[in-house]
Amino acid sequence: MRRLIAFLTDYGTRDGFVAVCHGILARSAPDTRVLDVSHDVPPQDVRHGAAVLARVAPYLPPAIYVGVVDPGVGTSRRGVALLAGPSLLLGPDNGLLIQAAEVLGGVRRAYALTNVALWLPDVDPTFHGRDVFAPVAGHLASGGEVGRVGEPLPPAELVRLPAPRWELAGDALTAEVTYLDRFGNVQLAGGPAELAAVGALGTQGTVDVQVGDLVDHAQVGRTFADVAVGELVVYLDSDGRLALAVNCGDAGVRLNAKPGDLVRLARPT
């Protein structure tokens, strides 16, 4: 039996929505610990929520993940339960859960949440976190069989987010911004191989950085202090992803970068 529920939403903590869901879980699975992964996902930012779940997944014991970043709540979008490794993931079928499921070993089985007997009696079309996902999570945490949540679903039919874009061509690597953390560090598509490619493009370790019409310069490094305070560094972040940071500063603000933007890292002109 999984004794941990890992809970992520874009609800924030101001309005009591998270506490309401905690109440449902406490009533239905009183012996289960609830870990609040984050409730500060930017509203409706499914990609951000997916990245946070995937970051956390390698470090948790077997758990029931409840992810609710759900701009399609109340529409025809499905709720799903995914078996991945020793864990279960519950949430909307909008790509939120897939990256974490892959980190956990890939989706072994998938179910559509269609058994309304497990939901609260009166389901509000705008609060499925309370009325659908939390009650189903409580059922599973209390030892309920995952097969009771609803109809089996071919994993190939699950909604997946578009793969982030990157391209190495000539003297430049162009990579999509995938994530900005609270420090303003800018995560990009790409990993160790792409950092090595950027390093090979550099002149004495320096590359041009272009976002839209803005052009700056960054040093290839290992950590923030490899550059002077206020300077840009290109490095691998703690997720093993290509990233840009300003030592003791905010790279997102400096570069006016946001998720989905393309960043060009090129040989200095």
pLDDT in tens, 39-54: 999 999 999 999 999 9
d(CA 129, CA 131): 6
Which tokens belong to 192? 């160790």
Residues in the chain: 269
- Is residue 250 within 8 A of residue 262, CB to CB? The reply is no
pLDDT in tens, 63-113: 999 999 999 999 999 999 999 999 999 999 999 999 999 999 999 999 999
Stretch (H or E) spanning 64: strand 64-68
Q: What is the pLDDT of residue 122?
A: 95
Q: What percent of the chain has pLDDT over 90?
A: 93
260, amino acid identity: G
Write the CATH number of the domain with boundaries 166-266. 2.40.30.90
- Distance (Å) of CA 184 to CA 55, 148, 214, 230, 240: 17, 43, 17, 13, 17
Residue 1 has pLDDT above 70, yes or no: no
Q: Is 266 left (phi over 0), alpha (psi -120 to 50) or beta?
A: beta
Task: List, by residue range, all CATH 2.40.30.90 domains of the chain.
Answer: 166-266
Cα-Cα-Cα-Cα dihedral sign, residues 126, 131, 134, 139: negative
d(CA 113, CA 164): 29
Region 147-167 average pLDDT: 96
Which tokens belong to 204? 């004495």
Task: List, by residue range, all CATH 3.40.50.10790 domains of the chain.
Answer: 4-157
- Looking at the domain covering 4-157, what would its CATH class be? alpha beta
d(CA 155, CA 188): 27
Residue 201 has pLDDT above 90, yes or no: no
Query: What one-character DSSP code corresponds to residue 161?
Result: P
